[in-house]
Structures are given as C-alpha cells and as structure tokens.
Amino acid sequence: MNILLTGVAGFIASFTLKKLLDEGHFVVGVDNLNDYYSPELKEYRLKQFESNKNFKFIKADISDFEAMSVLFQTFKIDAVINLAARAGVRYSLVNPFVYYDTNSTGTVNLLELCKDYGVKKFVLASTSSLYAGLETPFSEDKPVNTPISPYAASKKSAEVSCYTYNYLYGIDVTIVRYFTVYGPAGRPDMSIFKFISLIDKNVPITLYGDGSQSRDFTYVTDIADGTVKALKNVGYEIINLGNNNPHKLSYAIELISKYLNKKVEYDYKPFHKADMLATWAEVSKAKNILGWQPQVSLEEGIENTIKWYKDNYEFASKIPLVD
Ligand SMILES: NC(=O)c1ccc[n+]([C@@H]2O[C@H](COP(=O)([O-])OP(=O)(O)OC[C@H]3O[C@@H](n4cnc5c(N)ncnc54)[C@H](O)[C@@H]3O)[C@@H](O)[C@H]2O)c1
C-alpha cells in the first residue's frame, strides 16, 4: 500500500515507519519538525531512512489544508496513519491553541481529504488520557466525557471527528489509544527519558507526588506493531494498545537506577492536577480484533532504552529535556 504517515519524525512514528517499510509498503511521511522538543532528535530519527527508496519525507504542517491537498494530489494514497500531534499534557495548559490546530483541525483536514480523494482507511493515534476519572482497568466501552487537559480534549475532538467521517462517508477508522509509550530515542518531555538522563548525570529528578502513581508503560515496538495491525478494515473501532501490566513510577525509577548503577536524588513537587493517578489498559479487544498482544516487559524495555542511551551517549546525553 501507499501510506501517508503523519508525525513521521516523532518517536512512535519512526518505529511505525520501520515496520511499514519492512512489510514492503511505500510511505509518504509528513512532519513539521516543530521545536517543542529537540528538532535534532527528530532529524536523527529520520536519518536512518533517508536512503530508503520506499520512503519520501515531506516537511509540512497537517493544520495547513492547502499543503495537505497538494500531498493527496501528488501521491495515490491508500491509507492514512495520523500520528502527528502536540502530545505533551502539561504544555497543553500553556499553549492550548497549537493543540487544537494540530490535533483537532489537522485531523479534520486529513479526513476531509480522505473523503475527497477516496482514501478508505484512517488510523488515528489517541490516548489513555481520555480515561481520566474512570476506574482501572480501562476498557474501550466506557464513555469518556471528562478530559482533564486541553491535550485530552483535543484528542477527544479528533476521535469524534473520525466517527462523523465514518458515519457520513464510510471511511474505515481504527482509533488506537496508546498507554505511556517509552523506548530508545524517546520523547525528552516524558518521564522515562528524563529520568535516565538526569539520574545518569547525578542531577535530582523532579517527582510530582510521591511516585506511587502507576502507569501501564508500553514499549515502543509493541505500539508500532499494533499501529500497523490497525490498518485492518474494522468499520469504526476504538482499541487500547497498552501493556496490561501497570507499574508504579517509583518502580520504573528503581529499574533505571539499577541499570545505570547510579543513586537517585529527588526534588518533590505537588501532584499535578492535569495528571492521572493510574492507567491500566484492558487489551482483549486488541487481541480479538487485531491479533495483538504486548511482548516486552518493563524490565526488558528499560534495559533496551538504557542500552540505546549508552550506545549513543555523545548525542543522547546532550538532548535538552523539556518540563
Ligand atoms: N508517547 C506516548 O506515550 C503517547 C501516548 C498516547 C498517545 N500518543 C500519541 O501518539 C502520537 C505520537 O506521539 P509521540 O510520542 O511519538 O510524539 P512525538 O511528539 O514524538 O511525535 C509527534 C510528531 O508530530 C509532529 N507534528 C506535530 N504537530 C504537527 C503538525 N501540525 N504537522 C505535522 N507534524 C506535526 C512533531 O514534530 C513530532 O515529530 C501522537 O498522536 C500522540 O498524541 C503518544
């Protein structure tokens, strides 16, 4: 297939791109390379694919309808995987506008062009953040109507737009809700990346709350695998992709400390109102519909991530962290 993959220089999309190319697809990748976090890290991820003749990178913004139209005119696209997003929860309180521009309007732009150009398959990356306030484990049949950050609200908006375009025009949609994704060359605004970098440098880590909040940490290759499987025709489905095995943040910190062989110092801050106390994915739907199951344990995943950090030390240790 010819696949339009948005946010291609991003953490999850770069692993998804690898999987798509390995499976023989042609991929048009779009990213605006914004500087919310290190554009050098985005370039680093793209570099591994620059000589692949089945990959074409276009620097463009999904909130720019004209630019997206040109793409749909130029390439015969069979499916869209929309991973481009403003994805940090806390920064969404600082500048909510860019979140709605990309996550909500950008998604509608792509759906509208799928309708105009007869593209039949759309995959949207969504988030466990939508389950705020609900009891764990989170299953997809629970209504999610209480987003507690502009990030979550903008993703909810993208999800419901997908529903509308499926209902009106029959575009086949899989929405994948990811749970705290981590791994090599990850996001420098997320806890695992930050903790590795800070603990390695003997700098105190900022901990919001006491570390007892738990996350269903999910390794990035599992997420990429589920995202590619989500290209299957399903009608309209929302499917969790999570490890189904939550751990306390304090345990993840313990593992990092162990594999780096360094002691941890803490700078405690109050628990943030836009954060969730616990996440935990119910994944039977992913198993039944997509034949997907997580493969990588937190222990193995953190060990791999630290190996990448050490193997790329000159570059990785200098990536600026984002609050
Ligand atoms: N990482 C997680 O734990 C997690 C959890 C839940 C959902 N998600 C979702 O998964 C997707 C990928 O997240 P990620 O962690 O890889 O984040 P990321 O920030 O590394 O990747 C997103 C990419 O999109 C690009 N982008 C942003 N706005 C754009 C625009 N207007 N036009 C074109 N490109 C744009 C960015 O430059 C970036 O390279 C996002 O939709 C995110 O909301 C991620």
Q: 102: domain CATH number?
A: 3.40.50.720
pTM of the full structure: 0.98
Q: pLDDT-based confidence at 223, cuts 50/70/90? A: very high
For residue 130, being part of any structural domain is answered with: yes
Rounded Cα gap, residues 267 and 206, in angstroms: 5
Tell me the C-alpha to C-alpha distance, in Å, between residue 206 and each of 37, 170, 190, 209.
18, 47, 12, 9
Residues 6+ apart with CB under 8 A from 24: 54
Atom 19, ligand 1: residue with shortest CA distance: 10
Mean pLDDT of 100-121: 98
Atom 18, ligand 1: residue with shortest CA distance: 10
For residue 188, being part of any structural domain is answered with: no
Residue 40: in which H helix or E strand, if any?
Answer: helix 39-47
Q: Residue 207: beta bridge partners?
A: 268
What is the count of structural domains for the chain? 1
Distance 261 CA to ligand 1 centre (A): 31
Ligand 1 pocket member 156 (CB < 6 A): no
For residue 172, being part of any structural domain is answered with: yes
Burial of 322 (0-12, 13-18, 19+ CB in 10 A): middle
Helical axes 150-169 vs 107-117, angle rounded to 10°? 10
For residue 104, being part of any structural domain is answered with: yes
For residue 84, being part of any structural domain is answered with: yes
Mean pLDDT of 230-250: 98
| pLDDT tens digits, 19-35 | 999 999 999 999 999 99
pLDDT, residue 275, reads 86
Rounded Cα gap, residues 102 and 34, in angstroms: 11
For residue 118, being part of any structural domain is answered with: yes
**Are the C-beta atoms of 196 and 309 separated by less than 8 Å?**
yes
For residue 269, being part of any structural domain is answered with: no
Mutating to test ligand 1, I would choose from 5, 8, 12 the residue with most ligand atoms within 8 A of its C-beta, which is 12
Rounded Cα gap, residues 237 and 93, in angstroms: 29
| pLDDT tens digits, 249-291 | 999 999 999 999 999 999 999 998 888 999 999 999 999 999 9
Tell me: pLDDT of 168 over 90. Answer: yes
Q: Residue 121: beta bridge partners?
A: 79, 172
pLDDT, residue 323, reads 87
| pLDDT tens digits, 31-65 | 999 999 999 999 999 999 999 999 999 999 999 99
For residue 201, being part of any structural domain is answered with: no
The domain containing residue 99 runs over which residues?
2-179+218-244+279-295
